[in-house]
Amino acid sequence: MSIAFSVVLSSRPGVGAVTLEVGAELGAGRGRVPGSSRGARSSHSPPAAGQVAGPGDDRTAHADGSRRHPVVLAEQERRAEDLQLRIADWITAFATLTLIVSLEAIFLSTFVMIGQNRQAAFQQAKADHDFNEQELELKTNTELTRQIHVLTTELHNRAAG
């Protein structure tokens, strides 16, 4: 038994289109061509240049040499006919760009945060230094004020006495 499924990410081939085609052979003769008694391995790759597709190979050849499964082609045609799906495909074509921009933003924000941490450390060191200088200045001013008070009191005592 052969099962094939396809995922179409864009309905416009050649314009950021990515098509994933997966085929699988299931059953007791896994990996064998159905109906083959000799056990020849099945090939899911397109025939080489100049070769003709064998029986069971229902993919359609294109001008660019690639081959696409009819289900993929039908899905592309369906998506191309519907305006809403064309708009959705156009919008999702920017998904890779969005991913790249998001990754760039993550790295940029990391570097910005590193810079902010360095700046914060600098600001904290500066604030600590300023605090220590202000405390020293306050102690010095307090001591000078006390000495001036003592001298003023002594002068009043001498003048009165």
* pLDDT-derived band at 43, boundaries 50, 70, 90: very low
Structural domain count of the chain = 2
Question: In which element (H, E) is residue 125 found?
Answer: helix 95-160
Residues 143-159 have a mean pLDDT of 95
Domain range holding 133?
A: 99-161
Residues 133 and 61 in one domain: no
Residues 89 and 120 in one domain: no
Q: Is the pLDDT of residue 90 over 90?
A: no
- Cα 69 to chain center, whole Å? 31
Q: Tell which of 93, 127, 147 closes a domain.
A: 93
Yes or no: say if 103 and 95 are a contact pair by the CB < 8 Å rule. Answer: no
d(CA 55, CA 36): 12
Yes or no: say if 13 and 76 are a contact pair by the CB < 8 Å rule. Answer: yes
- Predicted structure pTM score: 0.35
Q: Tell which of 93, 123, 144 closes a domain.
A: 93
Q: Is the pLDDT of residue 144 over 70?
A: yes
- DSSP E strand stretches across the chain: 2-8, 19-25, 60-61, 67-68
